Amino acid sequence: MRERLRAMVPSVVPIVLSLVGCFLAVVVLRGWSVAFDAFGAMFAGAFGDWPKFVDQGNAGLVLRPLGEAGNKAAILTLTGLSVAVAFRVGLFNIGAQGQLTVGALAAAVVGAKVDLPAVVHLPLCLLAAAVAGAGWAALPAVLKTTRGVHEVISTIMMNWIAVSLVENWLVVGPLKASASGVNSISGTDQIAASAELPRLFEGGSRLNAGLVLAVLAALVVWAFFGRLTRGFGWRVVGLNPEAARAAGVEVGQVVVQAMLVAGALAGVAGAVLVLGTEQKYPTTLGAPYGFDGIAMALLGQGDALGVLVTSLVFGALRAGGTRLQLFGVHKSFPELIQGFALLLVAARLVWERLARRLLPDREPKHG
Amino acid sequence: MGELLRSLVSSVLDAAPPLIFAALGATLSERSGVVNVGVEGMMRAGAFVAAVAALAMPTPLAVVVGMAAGALVASVHAVLTIRLRCDQVVSGMAINLVMLALGTFLLEALFSSPSSTPPITQLPGWAGHPVTTWLAFALPVLVHLALTRTAWGLRVRAAGEKPQAVAVMGVRVGWLRAGAVLASGALAGLGGAVLSTATLDRFEHHMPTGLGFMAVAAMVFGRWTPLGATAAAVFFAFGDALRISLGSSAPGLMPQGVLLALPYLLTLVVLAVSGQRSAAPAALGVAWDPEVR
């Protein structure tokens, strides 16, 4: 228990410090009362307006915000897992953004252009997105194992190639929605109803099955690294590739496989965004979800369940962020909180030292 | 044809400087052994602070303040990576994410605008282009000379190749690298400041729109040398100018998105052909820990 608490300090302390720091920033710029109201509104938008719910008994006050939070958390979890899986084998997948972009496009295309019953259509869309994401990650992986090209540089390039090709060419060119479309003609064609991720609840909440997918993915990744021999082999590659090689692990193969899995996870994140909330590939994806994955992976300390928890927290805060606009604070404010937390969590050494001081070993080690 | 060429050269002279400054900055930092993918965030800091400072002071002075802002952000990177030995890529990406959100937050909080700061007086020009354009031609040579012909430059390069050797000479690797990172931030800040005070006359919410990442690409393309990075930056800017003029004179010849992707694609091809290990500094990304040699 003590061990576990100590392990959480390097994540929890930075998040709390960042929240406090960002709160003080609003105080400085807008004064105490506005800051309190703004944070109150953000938390109500994030976790539900519980006091008002108890007062009025309107379940929507709690269910609607929680649904939005869950939808955002699903995407963050999947991109976070993408980065975390790569991390575990010692790779830095900065390319989640590009993999998510091509995944989202693949889902949008298969969702709109193919006509199938929902039982096959939805899985096919998810599969297409996973394959697209994995394909986008394959090149950096191969370049790494065959040419020694560092994956950070190659995935940065792949990100911009993806965004340029998809958002500046395909979505405004060959795949642009036909003018006879239902609602607007920006972005690609609307996906068919059979490709939509089903909503989990009727009425109040817009929560969709993406969250179920994300939780399942987190559990699978957790079980793989924690319970399976093969997962142990992958971890050894990350901790000490030389030792892994000596033990007979094909390091190159593991690198490629891990990168493919990472790409597939980011691709599915794109699919969840398109099939769950956007219903098409919009002109632009809006938030840099792929880069957010880096934050989630690090705040969750590369652990699948840690990623899930931090994604739930920040998914909620970001859902609540939309309510800040009323207080003269930009809706991307939660991203600032997240960014500062990431910056702080990067200073691991400091927090580990702090954790040891806060929660020292009970029995002295030597007599 | 002559007309087209002249307009192309003119737009390269306007578009290349921010990229050149940022690419030089990235090169300095990485030659000392510190990965700098935070260039984008440092440019954003420079662009924003210069545009805000120019509301209260002469624009040339505001550009210097913008450089200081870039260096300030870089100092965070230096403390995290050198003193606390964080992962250098993590620190850089964290800086990018913070600056992205902080810029938007401050824009809204200080100017109640989601899109841009109020207009300012632009940087004075000389011979039809902002002074920074001419600086962008002089600076690469200076940085090249500093890196190859001075004792400091030799030490910086050694810190990136074999820090043990520098330490044995009695020079402190950490301070050497910190200096390079700060200079890198100042240069990135200058690149950003050019965007908001010379290219435009205000800070816009999307600045620098990935130019920082393109600067990293230029550095890799230029094989981690100041002159190579500059040439790559000019080449990328030329490609971009060509894209824009083709887009207006011969639309449909080549989709814009494909042309936009070309610099990154070319960088990948160059990396794939040459392999990276041959050009990158040997100790790049490895934190210096005097107790572990």
pLDDT digits (tens, 9 = 90+) for B208-225: 888 998 899 889 888 899
Q: What is the CATH number of the domain that holds A241?
A: 1.10.3470
Q: How far is A272 from chain B (nearest CA, A)?
A: 23
pLDDT number for residue A184: 57
| Average pLDDT in chain B | 88
User: Residue A58, SS3?
Assistant: coil
CA separation for the pair A311, A74 (Å, rounded): 8
Banded model confidence at residue A102, pLDDT cuts 50, 70, 90: very high
Interface check A151 vs B, CB under 8 A: no
Residue A80: which region, alpha, beta or left (left: phi > 0; alpha: psi -120 to 50)? alpha
Query: Hey, how many other C-beta atoms are within 10 angstroms of the C-beta on B115?
Result: 12
Mean pLDDT of the A3-22 span: 87
A250 assigned to some structural domain: yes
Which helix (H) or strand (E) segment holds residue B26: the answer is helix B2-31
Q: Per the domain annotation, does B21 fall within a domain? A: yes
CB < 8 Å to B112, chain A: 328
d(CA A46, CA A315): 8
CB contact under 8 A, B97 and A158: no
Select the residue of B87, B213, B214 nearest A346 (Cβ to Cβ): B87
Structural domain contains residue A365: no
Query: What is the domain range of residue A223?
Result: 2-358
Q: Which amino acid is at A1?
A: M
Judge whether B287 lies within some domain.
no
The alpha-carbon gap from B84 to the nearest alpha carbon of chain A, in Å, equals: 6
| Position B288 in a domain | no
- DSSP H or E run through B126: strand B125-126
Residue B22 pLDDT level (bands cut at 50, 70, 90)? very high
Structure tokens at A36: 């309190």
Q: A214-246 as b/e, with b when 16 or more CB fall inside 10 Å? A: bbebbeebbebbeeeeebebbbbbbeebeebee
Per-residue pLDDT, averaged over B267-288, amounts to: 79
Q: Which of A160, A167, A292 sits opposite B213 (nearest CB)?
A: A160
Helix (H, G, I), strand (E, B) or coil at A178: coil
**Could you list the residue range(s) of the whole structural domain that residue B154 is in?**
2-274
Residue at A363 is within a domain: no
Between A153 and A20, residue with greater pLDDT: A20
Give the tens place of pLDDT for each residue, A33-57. 989 999 999 998 888 888 888 888 7
> Over pLDDT 70: what percentage of chain B?
95
- pLDDT tens for each residue of A167-226: 888 888 788 877 655 555 778 888 888 888 888 887 778 888 899 999 999 999 999 998
Query: Nearest CA of chain B to the CA of A118: how many Å?
Result: 33
Asked if the structure places residue A291 within a domain, the reply is yes
For residue A147, list chain B residues with Cβ-Cβ distance below 8 A.
271-272, 275-276
pLDDT grade for B24, boundaries at 50, 70 and 90: very high
How much is the pLDDT for B289?
79
Structure token pair of residue A250? 């094909």
Query: pLDDT tens for residues A296-354?
Result: 999 998 899 999 999 999 999 999 988 888 888 888 899 999 999 999 988 877 887 88
**Cβ within 8 Å of residue B107, ≥6 positions away:** A330, B48, B113, B114, B115, B116, B117, B203, B205
B98 neighbourhood in chain A, CB within 8 Å: 336, 339-340, 342-343
Give contacts of B 17-76 with A, CB under 8 A.
35, 37, 76
User: Residue B177 belongs to a domain with what CATH number?
Assistant: 1.10.3470
Chain A residue closest in CA terms to B115? A330
The reported pLDDT for the residue numbered B251 is: 64
Cβ contact B260–A164 (<8 Å): yes
Q: Are A307 and A297 in contact (CB under 8 A)?
A: yes
Please classify residue B31 by burial: count the beta carbons closer than 10 Å to its beta carbon, then call 0-12 exposed, 13-18 middle and 19+ buried.
buried
How distant is the Cα of A39 from the closest Cα of chain B, in angstroms?
Answer: 15
What is the sign, positive or negative, of the torsion defined by CA atoms of A265, A266, A268, A269? positive
Q: How many domains does chain A have?
A: 1
The whole-angstrom distance between B260's CA and the closest CA on chain A is 6
Residues 6+ apart with CB under 8 A from B140: B20, B24, B226, B227, B229, B230
Phi, psi of B125, deg, nearest 5: -110, 175
Question: Distance (Å, rounded) from C-alpha B84 to C-alpha A167?
Answer: 39
Q: Does the pLDDT of residue B195 top 60, yes or no?
A: yes
Read off the tokens for A84. Answer: 């975390």
- CA distances from residue B255 to A100, A172, A214, B246 in whole angstroms, order as listed: 22, 10, 36, 10
Domain count of the fold of chain B: 1
What lies within 8 Å, CB to CB, of A224 at 6+ separation is A230, A231, A234
Contact of B269 with chain A, judged by CB distance below 8 Å, is answered with no
User: Which of A25, A149, A330 lies closest to B272 in CB terms?
Assistant: A149
Residue A364 placed within a domain: no
Residue A367 confidence (pLDDT): 41
Q: Is the pLDDT of residue A366 over 60?
A: no
Q: Is residue B289 part of a domain?
A: no
Q: Do A346 and B272 count as a contact with CB atoms less than 8 A apart?
A: no
Instruction: Quote the longest CA-to-CA distance of chain A.
Output: 81
According to the model, what pLDDT value does residue A237 have?
Answer: 87
Report pLDDT for A183: 54
Backbone angle region of A328, left / alpha / beta, with phi > 0 → left and psi within -120 to 50 → alpha? left
User: What is the pLDDT, as a whole number, of residue A338?
Assistant: 92
**Most B CBs within 10 Å, among A34, A163, A164, to test the B interface:** A164
Q: Is residue A263 part of a domain?
A: yes
A220-268 pLDDT per residue, tens: 999 999 888 888 888 888 888 888 888 888 888 999 999 999 999 999 9
The CA distance from A125 to the nearest CA of chain B, in Å, is 25
Question: What does residue B129 show for φ and ψ, rounded to 5 degrees?
Answer: -135, 155
Residues 6+ apart with CB under 8 A from B267: A153, A157, B217, B220, B221
Query: Are the C-beta atoms of residues B132 and B215 closer than 8 Å to each other?
Result: no
- B114 contacts in chain A (CB < 8 Å): 330
Mean pLDDT over A110-136 rounds to 91
> A128 pLDDT exceeds 60?
yes
pLDDT digits (tens, 9 = 90+) for B113-172: 888 888 888 888 777 788 888 899 899 999 999 999 999 999 999 888 888 888 888 888
Q: pLDDT tens digits, residue range B53-97?
A: 999 999 899 999 999 999 999 999 999 999 888 889 889 999 999
